[in-house]
């Protein structure tokens, strides 16, 4: 395998959100059929395609058996959380749940867990909510350090839905540039960023303010997808289905880990992954699915 001058090689894996309504076994089958060696999984959230809120030892064993049977690694785990809840007792219960699920994630083979800062619109963030967020992240990092787990905070807006079902993205602390700068300064240094430029694009309203210069050296997890305009909002789509220039963007990234294809629509999951792979290939990147 020879790289052309200026060509970047990227190692790709398969994200889990587009599989949320499929049984977990089907996730592995699709990943195998495409040749992926890395598969993201999720815990909680009440979806068919996720492990339960409190996975039993038997459920975890079944998942590990699938991983070993298909010979597909599962180092990336999503946990559903919000550390910007205004009711403090509910927030405390949320933190307790996340700490518990982080332990389950490790048993399932995770080395990286993606969390959310929270979904409070930036306009609603008070100083007390900021401090609540930082305290929760510090507590999570203490737990992560015990097992060698790496935390990534996803760049994600708050989402409302328009009259025709399109997603309206509202800026949060992980999509607004100034807020992100504060997050990077004040959260534990070992916590990184799950860079999802498609989400930032939708919250910012265009594909030019993606904050890579700010985030580049803290990215430890990455999702590849796009959003396209639909009425007053956005519709999730694959790489190459709209105007986000991944060839240029990824060539500028320092990240050396696995780039996870997160194709979100449910009706054509396999076709969307295929289109994404083809688009990445056309963009001048060298796409590989396993380490050499």
Which CATH number does the domain housing residue 124 bear?
3.20.20.150
Q: pLDDT at position 5, please? A: 56
User: Residue 165: which pLDDT band, with cuts at 50, 70 and 90?
Assistant: confident
Query: Is residue 5 in a domain?
Result: no
pLDDT tens digits, one per residue of 65-90: 999 999 999 999 999 999 999 999 99
Per-residue pLDDT averaged across 9-23, rounded? 97
Assess if residue 4 is contained within a domain.
Answer: no
Query: Residue 213's pLDDT is what?
Result: 97
Residue 18 included in any domain: no
Lowest mean pLDDT among 2-6, 135-139, 227-231: 2-6
Q: What is the pLDDT of residues 173-226, one digit of tens each?
A: 999 999 999 999 999 999 999 999 999 999 999 999 999 999 999 999 999 999
Distance from C-alpha of 217 to C-alpha of 2, rounded to nearest angstrom: 27
How far is it, in rounded angstroms, from Cα 40 to Cα 81? 17
Give the helix/strand (H/E) hosting 11.
strand 9-14
Contacts of 266 (CB under 8 A, 6+ apart): 18, 20, 21
- Please check whether residue 7 lies inside any domain of the structure: no
- Is 133 inside a domain boundary? yes
- Whether 170 shows a pLDDT value over 60: the answer reads yes
57-70 and 88-107 helices cross at what angle (nearest 10)?
50
Average pLDDT over residues 13-35: 98
Residue 73 confidence (pLDDT): 98
The per-residue pLDDT for 98 is 98
Q: How confident is the model over 102-130, as a mean pLDDT?
A: 98
**Of 6-10, 112-116, 158-162, 233-237, which gets the smallest average pLDDT?**
6-10
Q: Is residue 226 part of a domain?
A: yes
Range of the domain at 279: 23-288
Please report the pLDDT score of residue 6 as a whole number: 64
What's the pLDDT band for 134 if we cut at 50, 70, 90? very high
Instruction: Specify burial of residue 48 (Cβ count, 10 A radius: 0-12, 13-18, 19+).
Output: exposed
Between CA 14 and CA 78 the distance in angstroms is 13
Number of domain units in the chain: 1
Q: For residue 6, tell me if it sits in a domain.
A: no
Residue 148 in domain = yes
């Amino acid at each position: 395998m020879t790289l052309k001058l200026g060509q970047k090689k990227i190692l790709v894996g398969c994200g889990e959100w587009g599989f949320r309504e499929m049984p977990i076994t089907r996730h592995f089958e699709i990943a195998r059929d495409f040749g992926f060696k890395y598969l993201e999984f999720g815990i909680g959230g009440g979806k068919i395609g996720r492990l339960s809120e409190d996975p039993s030892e038997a459920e975890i064993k079944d998942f590990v058996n699938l991983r070993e049977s298909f010979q597909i690694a599962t180092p990336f785990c999503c946990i559903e959380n919000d550390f910007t809840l205004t009711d403090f007792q509910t927030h405390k219960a949320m933190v307790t749940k996340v700490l518990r699920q982080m332990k389950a994630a490790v048993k399932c083979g995770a080395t990286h867990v993606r969390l959310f800062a929270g979904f409070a619109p930036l306009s609603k963030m008070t100083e007390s909510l900021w401090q609540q967020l930082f305290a929760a992240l510090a507590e999570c990092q203490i737990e992560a350090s015990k097992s060698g787990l790496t935390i990534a905070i996803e760049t994600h807006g708050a989402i409302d839905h328009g009259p025709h079902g399109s997603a309206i993205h509202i800026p949060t602390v992980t999509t607004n540039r100034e807020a992100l700068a504060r997050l990077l300064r004040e959260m534990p240094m070992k916590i990184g960023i799950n860079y999802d430029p498609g989400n930032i694009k939708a919250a910012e309203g265009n594909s030019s303010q993606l904050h890579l210069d700010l985030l580049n050296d803290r990215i430890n997890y990455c999702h590849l997808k796009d959003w396209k305009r639909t009425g007053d909002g956005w519709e999730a789509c694959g790489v190459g289905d709209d105007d986000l220039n991944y060839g240029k963007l990824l060539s500028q990234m320092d990240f050396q880990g696995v780039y996870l294809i997160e194709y979100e629509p449910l009706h054509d999951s396999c076709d969307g992954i295929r289109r994404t792979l083809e688009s990445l290939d056309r963009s001048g990147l060298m796409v590989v699915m396993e380490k050499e």
